[in-house]
Amino acid sequence: MQSLKVPRIVWVSLSPAQPTGPKAAAAAYEPIGSLSALLQGPRADVVVLDGSSELLTPALLQLRRHPDYGLSLIFFSGSADRLAEALADGPLPAESSAVIAAWRHWQERLGLFNRGRLPERFDHSLLCWLWLRPAGLIQPVCDPSNSNFYHYPLVEALAGEGSINVNSWLQQKRQENLLEAGDLLDRLRHCTACDSNRLNYVDVCPECHGLDIVRQPSLHCFVCGHVAPQQDFLRGDGLICPNCLSHMRHIGSDYDRPLENYRCRSCNAFFEDAEVDVCCIECGQRQSPDELRVREIRPFRLSETGQLSCRQGLGEDSVASQYFRQLKLMAQPGFLAALDWQIAITRRYGKPRGTSVCSVLGMRFDNLKLVLNELGEPGTIAMLDSLMERLQQVIRETDRCMRGREDVLWILLPETPTAGLHILQERLLTGLESIESSGGQKLQLRIVGCGLPDQLEKNEDAPLLLARLMGELF
Amino acid sequence: MELALDSVLDLSGLIQQLQSENGAMRLFLLLFPFFILVELPLILVVLLGVLRWKLRELTLPPKHSLYRPRVSCVITCYSEGLDVQRTLLSLCEQTYPGEIELIPVVDGAAVNQRTLEAVRAFHLDPELYPRRRLRPIAKWKRGGRVSSLNAGLSMSSGTIIMALDGDTSFDNTMVSAVVRHFEDPNVPAVAGCLRVRNTWTSFATTIQAIEYLLSIQMAKIGLSEWNVVNNVSGAFGAFRRSILEQIGGWDTHSAEDLDLTLRIKSYFGRHRRMRIPFEPRAIGHTDAPSTILGLLQQRLRWDGDLLFLYARKHSGSISPELMGWPNFIMTVVGGLFVQVILPFIIVGYTAVSMIVLPWPTLVALAVLVYTLYFLVLLLQFLLMLLLVSERPGQDVRLLPVLPLFPLAMFLIRCWSAVAILNELLRRGHEESGMAPWWVLKSATRF
Ligand SMILES: [Zn+2]
Ligand SMILES: [Zn+2]
Ligand SMILES: [Zn+2]
């Protein structure tokens, strides 16, 4: 059986001064004297790094950046710091059979990734790295020298020199539902102006926000209500109110200590608790702590959708969604808000039952994949181009479009009664009909429409309406 | 006596006697022998002392001193609960610029969890009170007040030791007013002044408020002027550490305050210049028993202890050689006679009058006696307001209750006779609620 190929496992000694060599238990591994020797030689299947953690971390970074070893199984023998742990596959298992089994598993999953295509782009590499390790995590590592305190060394290493914004890239993949966030590890606060987290928290006067405040024990006279610093009351051995001259002999019956224990030297205000201001060291911006931008630090792993995509093919963006981009698209929240507003307007000022004042239309290509397969890309693109032309003619300036899930295009058509909606549907379908097709397959469009408010169901709002219509499209 | 009674029986004879030469004087002597012989001189001594004190206070310029020894306040706590925090806070609030060590000793902490928690929950803000230290002691087994005081004493580091009660809070000038006296090496102890904190809680507390004002605040000012203070209150006294160590701390299980005072006074004979000043400006506010029953029980204990001390324990040390003549006279007259013997005279006289006198005469006599007592009382009270009280505006509100005070005092004196009898017959002090039997058993016997 050729699948039972024996992997080439190399043991790289990182410290040349004291070549440790394979230990007795690890005699099965091929010894290599240095990292450069490994990189110059033929590609190994599994790498074991041996050396102190100071040597281990740079070696791991170098290997993960290398095109040959970015995705490889890399173990370490000995101790490792957090950075090395985030990059490597853990300590070397005691038995070489476990290493071989791990590699077989890895090899098998590599074959399944993206329908057998090896990753070429960076983002595919990272998804692949996670795909190859079912328990794999993109771990954040705390680094005091880093201006953000936390970074994701694996993402940085795989991204290589073409530096991307790691955080926004991770957020994007999370929005695309390919990655999901793990347990919260930390929470950082950043300046709203420059996003720096070098912040200074200072207690200030709540009145004038001056810095120069002092704790000053003060007293409160029960007779006249006078509040002043303690020393203003001291006369000889006793306390006498400077305002009403009454003796203050016993706390609780003649006087008490007000909660206002701080005084501002700039504006002389008395106050209970200082306010805290945050001053950005980088840009000098002053803000209150609850204004700060909060950043959560979490590890990331492949989501279920991500795993499905890795198995079924990541591909590029679907053809349809690329085409929809030519329209002026709204983001989902804006579209939903506009739709909700229209629903509210039509409900309130709607004409008698049976007439609509506004319409929603949803459409999707029923057989795009089939057409693509049959006509190939150039033919399909030509068809889509003419369809988009038609669509842009039909859509008015006041209409609003949104790309929904599963490549559905939603159009909100204000001041369009149900009759107008039907005319629009007709036009789109006849337009599609008239598109020349060189082969037998024709592009099929599914369209669903709804007139507001008479086709609206009770208590239906924008998300509910779209969900109902979505059901009719499939 | 027989003759006197016969003459009283006959009201017309009485009127005749009154109309005759020296008649009023004769009747007066007949009716108030004990009053004239003992109480009036005592009141005079007090009033003269008060006047002297007031003159001195008005004429002497205020003294500024750099004498600031560390003061340790041993606060005996039992079942006061949250009130302990009031005591601790009032001590933190002292204007005294020196160091004050607060040593609350919770006796029987195992059963007095609430008090213990209150002590533990008390947070001493070191920024607000930089010269105050809190060193609480929890005594799990109940050992009584004396053992609490001695435990506090052994843990303390101050030059001046104050013995205070957990249900007493203090004016903020208390420590500085007390410490001033210790600058004089002849002062081994200073007595503080107690007032009633819960004046308006009940009739019993209102009466006690008047009693405290007159018999503690005013009387002790007067006595102190003649260096014959009869007692350093247990709820509120200050001692020089050296004298406590010399006499071996607190001893006995009851009336330990009076016991200690008498033992200190027994040095007076050898050290003629020694004195125990009373500081009227060192004021503590304490909770008085709020029910008549509670008041009677307290007095039963106090008066029983009193006899025990005077008659049994200190019968040897009460002598002019040991105490000096003024203190000896004061202890015999003011202590032994007024507090122990006078109650019996009053009860006996009343009983005899009730048996032998006809009702109209009895009523006339009672009105007469009452009027005289009330007039003397009114005079005392007004002088107290004018010369002594540091809170005259507050104290003047007691004036409407004043007419009832002689009656209440009469009842309390009768009760004292009961208490002393009880002590004589049943050694009532051993039933004292303040110390359990195992402490009593191990206490030194006399
Ligand atoms: Zn900034
Ligand atoms: Zn200010
Ligand atoms: Zn005032």
Q: By the CB < 8 Å criterion, does A238 face chain B?
A: yes
- DSSP codes joined into one string, B117-134: HHHHH----TTT-TTEEE
Please give, rounded to a whole number of angstroms, the shortest distance from the CA of A242 to a CA of chain B: 16
Q: What is the pLDDT of residue B382?
A: 94
Question: Percentage of residues in chain A with pLDDT exceeding 70?
Answer: 87
The continuous run of DSSP H or E covering A219 comes out as strand A218-221
ipTM above 0.90, yes or no: no
Give the highest mean pLDDT range of A228-237, B116-125, B219-228. B116-125
Q: What is the pLDDT of residue B4?
A: 44
Q: What is the pLDDT of residue A216?
A: 83
pLDDT per residue as tens digits for the range A111-124: 888 777 777 777 78
Is the pLDDT assigned to residue A274 strictly greater than 70?
A: yes
Please give, rounded to a whole number of angstroms, the shortest distance from the CA of B37 to a CA of chain A: 40
- Structural domains of chain A sorted by starting position, each given as residue range(s) with its CATH number in brackets: 9-177 (no CATH), 200-290 (no CATH), 317-473 (3.30.70.270)
B-chain CB neighbours of A249 within 8 Å are 171-173, 283, 390-391
Query: What is the C-alpha separation between B162 and A318, in angstroms, rounded?
Result: 89
Q: Which of A215, A238, A251 faces B89 most closely, judged by CB atoms?
A: A251
Q: By the CB < 8 Å criterion, does B125 face chain A?
A: no
Q: What is the pLDDT of residue B427?
A: 58
Q: What is the pLDDT of residue A463?
A: 86
Burial of B109 (0-12, 13-18, 19+ CB in 10 A): buried
CA dihedral of A394, A397, A401, A407, whole degrees rounded to 10 = 40
- Rounded to 5 degrees, φ, ψ at B438 are -70, -25
Q: By the CB < 8 Å criterion, does B95 face chain A?
A: yes
Average pLDDT over residues B419-445: 52
Q: By the CB < 8 Å criterion, does B83 face chain A?
A: no
- What are the residue ranges spanned by the domains of chain B? 24-62+184-446
Q: What is the pLDDT of residue B254?
A: 54
Residue of A220, A234, A251, A262 to mutate, testing the B interface (most B Cβ within 10 Å of its Cβ): A251
Query: What is the C-alpha separation between B218 and B206, in angstroms, rounded?
Result: 17
Q: What is the pLDDT of residue A262?
A: 86
Q: By the CB < 8 Å criterion, does B285 face chain A?
A: yes
A222-236, B50-64, B246-260: least confident range:
B246-260
Do B285 and A247 lie within an 8 Å CB cutoff?
no
A-chain CB neighbours of B95 within 8 Å are 234, 237-239
Q: Which of A236, A249, A261 faces B172 most closely, judged by CB atoms?
A: A249
Q: What is the pLDDT of residue B60?
A: 76
Is the pLDDT assigned to residue A203 strictly greater than 50?
A: yes
Opening angle at CA A54, ends A51 and A57, nearest 5: 85
Opening angle at CA B335, ends B333 and B338, nearest 5: 65
What residues pair up with A390 in beta bridges, in sequence order?
none
Q: What is the pLDDT of residue A315?
A: 59
Q: Which of B62, B169, B176 faces A250 most closely, judged by CB atoms?
A: B169
Average pLDDT of the residues of chain A: 82
Beta strand segments in A241-377, E: 255-256, 262-264, 270-271, 275-280, 286-287, 293-297, 300-302, 329-330, 358-365
What residues pair up with B76 in beta bridges, in sequence order?
B105, B165
Average pLDDT of the residues of chain B: 80
Query: What is the C-alpha separation between A54 and A123, in angstroms, rounded?
Result: 29
pLDDT per residue as tens digits for the range B91-118: 999 999 999 999 999 998 888 899 999 9
Closest CA to B140 of B155, B156, B151: B151
Q: What is the pLDDT of residue A147?
A: 79
pLDDT per residue as tens digits for the range B396-426: 999 999 999 989 988 888 888 888 787 777 6
Is the pLDDT assigned to residue A97 strictly greater than 80?
A: yes
Q: What is the pLDDT of residue B33?
A: 52
Nearest ligand (C-alpha, residue A245): 3
Query: What is the C-alpha separation between B445 and B443, in angstroms, rounded?
Result: 6
Query: What is the C-alpha separation between A125 and A326, in angstroms, rounded?
Result: 29
Please give, rounded to a whole number of angstroms, the shortest distance from the CA of B94 to a CA of chain A: 9
Q: What is the pLDDT of residue B313?
A: 63
A337-346, B195-204, B418-427: least confident range:
B418-427
Opening angle at CA A420, ends A416 and A422, nearest 5: 130
Is the pLDDT assigned to residue A1 strictly greater than 50?
A: no
Residues A220/A232, Cβ–Cβ less than 8 Å: no
Using pLDDT thresholds of 50, 70 and 90, give the confidence band for residue B201: very high
Is the pLDDT assigned to residue B267 strictly greater than 90?
A: no
Cβ neighbours of B279 (radius 10 Å): 21
Q: What is the pLDDT of residue B252?
A: 63
Average pLDDT over residues B373-397: 91
Query: What is the C-alpha separation between B399 and A304, in angstroms, rounded?
Result: 88
Is the pLDDT assigned to residue A277 strictly greater than 90?
A: yes
Q: By the CB < 8 Å criterion, does B170 face chain A?
A: yes
Beta strand segments in A68-137, E: 73-77
Residues A409/A325, Cβ–Cβ less than 8 Å: no
Average pLDDT over residues B257-268: 72
Average pLDDT over residues A349-370: 75
Kindly identify which residue of chain B lies nearest to residue A246, measuring between CA atoms.
Answer: B391
A28-42, A75-89, A292-306, B306-320: least confident range:
B306-320
Taking the alpha carbons at both ends of chain B, their separation in whole angstroms is 40
Query: What is the C-alpha separation between B412 and B419, in angstroms, rounded?
Result: 10
Average pLDDT over residues B130-159: 90
Query: What is the C-alpha separation between B233 and B213, in angstroms, rounded?
Result: 14
Please give, rounded to a whole number of angstroms, the shortest distance from the CA of A222 to a CA of chain B: 15
Residue of B123, B173, B391 to mutate, testing the A interface (most A Cβ within 10 Å of its Cβ): B173
Q: In terms of pLDDT, which residue wins out, A329 or A295?
A: A295
The pair of three-digit structure tokens given for residue A122, joined into one six-digit string: 């960076």
Q: DSSP 3-state assignment of B324? A: coil
- According to the 3-state scheme, what is the secondary structure of A148-213? CCEECHHHHHHHCCCCCCHHHHHHHHHHCCCEEECCCCEEEEECCCCCCCCEEEEEECCCCCCCCE
A190-204, A309-323, B93-107, B349-363: least confident range:
A309-323
Q: What is the pLDDT of residue B164?
A: 93
Q: By the CB < 8 Å criterion, does B283 face chain A?
A: yes
Query: What is the C-alpha separation between A135 and A124, in angstroms, rounded?
Result: 18
Query: What is the C-alpha separation between B400 and B119, in angstroms, rounded?
Result: 39
Q: What's the whole-model pTM score?
A: 0.60
Do B127 and A215 lie within an 8 Å CB cutoff?
yes
Residue of B91, B128, B171 to mutate, testing the A interface (most A Cβ within 10 Å of its Cβ): B171
Q: By the CB < 8 Å criterion, does B173 face chain A?
A: yes
CA dihedral of B279, B283, B289, B295, whole degrees rounded to 10 = 20
Do B283 and A217 lie within an 8 Å CB cutoff?
no
Q: What is the pLDDT of residue B34?
A: 56
Do B172 and A251 lie within an 8 Å CB cutoff?
yes
Q: What is the pLDDT of residue B20?
A: 57
Residues B288/B204, Cβ–Cβ less than 8 Å: yes
The pair of three-digit structure tokens given for residue A464, joined into one six-digit string: 């509910």
- Rounded to 5 degrees, φ, ψ at A291 are -80, -20
Q: Report cis status (omega within 30 of 0) of the bond before B280.
A: no
Cβ neighbours of B441 (radius 10 Å): 9
Query: What is the C-alpha separation between A338 and B427, in angstroms, rounded?
Result: 96
Q: DSSP 3-state assignment of B54? A: helix
Query: What is the C-alpha separation between B190 and B282, in angstroms, rounded?
Result: 10
Q: Please name the amino acid found at residue A158.
A: L
Q: What is the pLDDT of residue B8?
A: 44
pLDDT per residue as tens digits for the range A166-176: 887 888 788 77
Q: In terms of pLDDT, which residue wins out, B124 or A427?
A: B124
The continuous run of DSSP H or E covering A372 comes out as helix A368-394
Contact partners, residue A459, CB within 8 Å, separation at least 6: none
Is the pLDDT assigned to residue B119 strictly greater than 90?
A: yes
Average pLDDT over residues B323-331: 74
Is the pLDDT assigned to residue A222 strictly greater than 70?
A: yes
Ligand 2 centroid vs A270 CA: distance in angstroms?
A: 8
Is the pLDDT assigned to residue A325 strictly greater than 60?
A: no
Average pLDDT over residues A413-419: 83
Output b/e per residue, B296-319; b: 16+ Cβ within 10 A: beebbbbbbbbbbbbeebbeeebe
**Half-sphere CA count of B244, side-chain side, radius 13 A:** 27
